[in-house]
């Protein structure tokens, strides 16, 4: 009788009890499985990020070439970028939203960066103007209002004249080299007239950074 009770009091390590004890031990002493899974998930995310960056780099390569000073055929490069734009953006959250039937977040597919480069580098867009993802209306609006663009931007100058026609920048604190109207991006509405030899001021605490003055228009038209 006593022997039977003693036998019953002893823990049984066979069958389901053995598995229960194993599970309990794992709770007390976490094994390496969880950390391994965590490392795998982290590596998977890093690999996904690497692939996304590589795809984006390849996607924007034609557009980057179109902005090079020695670019031979800018329209063809922009068109090449537009042709591969949607396919290369497959990792973006909005890719494929045009197929959603209910609760769609689709707002159109527009390669705004193509319009930006077209306007700033004054590229003829006649060869890709009707491209499905090219926002031609936006580009047209920007060109109509290009008179408001700062001479600091490439679009201020006719194509091919940006490197030769642009006036030199004069740092603040230096004497004005030529009488005329000048402006600085370091301050809004900074346009003012300077006489030759007049010290051009430094705009303090400007969020733009250093103060550099640039002449506007033809000095013959001043005053």
Tokens of 68: 């090079």
Q: With contact defined as beta carbons under 8 Å apart, do 203 and 172 qualify?
A: yes
**CA–CA separation, 141 and 199 (whole Å):** 38
Mean pLDDT rounded to a whole number for the chain: 74
- Is the pLDDT at 162 greater than 60? The verdict is no
Q: With contact defined as beta carbons under 8 Å apart, do 150 and 217 qualify?
A: no
- What local confidence, expressed as pLDDT, does residue 75 receive? 93
Q: Tell me: the pLDDT tens digits for 18-77?
A: 666 666 655 555 545 556 666 666 655 655 555 555 555 678 888 888 888 777 789 999
Query: Beta strands of the chain (E only): which ranges?
Result: 170-171, 180-183, 192-194, 212-215
- What local confidence, expressed as pLDDT, does residue 143 receive? 81
- What local confidence, expressed as pLDDT, does residue 212 receive? 87
What are the structural domain ranges in the chain? 48-96+105-156, 167-223
CA distances from 170 to 118, 200, 202 (A): 29, 8, 11
């Amino acid at each position: 009788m006593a022997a039977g009770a003693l036998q019953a009091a002893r823990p049984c390590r066979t069958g389901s009890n053995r598995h229960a004890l194993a599970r309990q031990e794992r709770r007390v002493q976490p094994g390496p499985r969880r950390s391994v899974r965590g490392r795998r998930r982290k590596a998977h995310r890093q690999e996904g990020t690497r692939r996304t960056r590589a795809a984006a780099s390849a996607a924007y390569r034609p557009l980057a070439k179109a902005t090079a000073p020695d670019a031979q055929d800018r329209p063809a490069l922009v068109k090449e970028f537009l042709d591969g734009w949607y396919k290369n953006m497959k990792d973006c959250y909005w890719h494929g939203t045009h197929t959603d039937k209910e609760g769609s977040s689709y707002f159109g597919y527009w390669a705004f960066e193509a319009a930006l480069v077209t306007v700033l580098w004054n590229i003829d867009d006649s060869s890709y103007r009707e491209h499905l993802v090219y926002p031609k209306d936006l580009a047209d609006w920007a060109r109509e209002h290009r008179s408001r663009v700062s001479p600091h931007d490439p679009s201020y100058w006719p194509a091919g004249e940006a490197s030769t026609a642009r006036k030199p920048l004069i740092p603040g604190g230096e004497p004005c080299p030529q009488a005329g109207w000048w402006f600085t991006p370091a301050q809004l509405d900074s346009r003012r007239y300077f006489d030759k030899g007049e010290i051009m001021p430094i705009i303090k605490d400007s969020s733009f950074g250093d103060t550099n003055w640039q002449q506007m228009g033809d000095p013959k038209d001043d005053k």
